[in-house]
Structures are given as structure tokens and as C-alpha cells.
Amino acid sequence: MAKRSTRNRRTESYAALSLVPLLAVATPAAGQQQDAQLWTQINTNVPLTDEVRVTLEQIARFSDRQDGLYQTEFGALLGFKATKGIEFGFGYRKVGAHNGNSAADEDRIRQQVVATFGGFTSRFRVDERFNPGGREIGFRIRPLLRYNQRLGTGKWALFVSHESFFLPNSTRWGQRSGYERMRNIVGFVVPIGRLMTADVGYLNQFRPGRSATRAQMDHALNLQLTINLQGQVFPHLND
């Protein structure tokens, strides 16, 4: 059993290396805009039963190009554990635009499936965007893959993740269909006491140039605090 466990861990580590090239895909290109940012998030997991939880979410993002705080998000997600390693979720977020952010405030509804297999966690999420600029609903499809490599026998871990954004429809208020952006993160999971962990890492977000819009690359310090009330552990992902 020990040999099999070691072999499985080695296989997961090799497979995780396949994510590394994704971190290098968004390399600087001539003519693209770049921005230095800070992304912060607090997630509080409140278990209702052994299979059901509510996650309360608070997000604040800061930008050099957009004069400080440019986006806030407040929301909640209801999660149902279907089987071991599989969880379904349904949630809502209120998104606010600030300072140099010219986007409108939005309401978003989300559905997702989260699957955990060893060190890998995947999430398939669909967003519905409701914008005051029009009655049409903007859909977003967001597949994510993350790998956690534990460091030693404690709760410290190294992680890498990749998320892509596909927009299946266009709207009159501004959403355009197609591949819209990617987010790549590399960082560390840092335990804080018995109930909390922090993700500390580098986030690279790349949006290809589309129509008359220049390509955009964001370099962000990503800080996420996760609070697990009653000490229960849930799938650990970034937004």
C-alpha cells in the first residue's frame, strides 16, 4: 500500500507539471496594456449539515491603472455534497464598479460542480450576468483546475491553478462572445490556527485583444482567507 500511495503521489506531481506551461502562456506582447493589482477575498464556510454548507464571500480588488479600489463583490453560495469528492453549488453575487472602472454594477447568479481527486480539484462554473444596460442575460462558462502539493506533514501546500472564461453569447450592453480571458495562479496555502487558511500567491490574468480593444495583462498579489467554522474542511478554490 505504501508503494502504491507513493506512486500515486508521484503521478499527481507529474500531472501537475502540465499546468506549469499555462502559467507561461500569457507572456508580454507588444502593444498590450499591463496593470499591477491587489486581489483580496474572504470566504466563510458555514456548515448546515454534514452535506450542506453556505459560503459567504467578500471580494475587493485594487488596480494601479484604475485608481485604487475598482471592484467589489459580495455574495453567498449554497453547496450540496452529492458523493465523496463531488459537490454542487448555487449562488448569487452583487458586483460593484468603483473609481476608474467604467463597467456597470451587476447581479450574477452561479451554478457549479466541484470535483476533488487526490491533490487535484476542478470546478465547472456557469455565470448568468444581469446588467442594468439591457434586458439580455450574459452567460459565462468558467472551467478551473487546481493542484495542491502538500509540503511536509503539516497543512502547508504549494498550489497552481488555471481558469478560462468562455462567453457563449453577445449582448447589446457590451458582452461579446468568444474566449474572453484566462487566470493563472501559483502560490502557497498557509495554515492560520485550526479554522483558517490563507492563499498567498501571484495571479496573472490575460485578456486577448478583441475588435478595437487592446490585449490586457494584469499582475496581481492574490490574498484569500478561508474560514471553516466548526473546523470542517471544504474544497479550496480561488475566484
What pLDDT, on the 0 to 100 scale, is given for residue 238?
78
Q: How many helices (H) and strands (E) would you count in the chain?
A: 2, 11
Residuewise pLDDT in 10s, the chain (239 residues): 544 455 555 555 555 555 555 554 545 555 689 999 999 999 999 999 989 999 999 999 999 999 999 999 999 999 999 999 999 999 999 999 999 999 999 999 999 999 999 999 999 999 999 999 999 999 999 999 999 999 988 889 999 999 999 999 999 999 999 999 999 999 999 999 889 999 999 999 999 987 778 899 999 999 999 999 976 666 667 77
Helices (H), the chain: 2-17, 20-23
Domains of the chain with CATH codes: 2-25+34-231 (2.40.160)
Cell 458586483 belongs to 95
What pLDDT, on the 0 to 100 scale, is given for residue 4?
47
pTM: 0.86
Strand partners for 34: 217
143-161 exposure pattern, b = at least 16 Cβ within 10 A, e = fewer: ebbbbbeeeeeeeebebbb
What CA–CA distance (Å, rounded) separates 134 from 112? 25
Given a contact cutoff of 8 angstroms between Cβ atoms, the answer to whether 226 and 191 are in contact is no
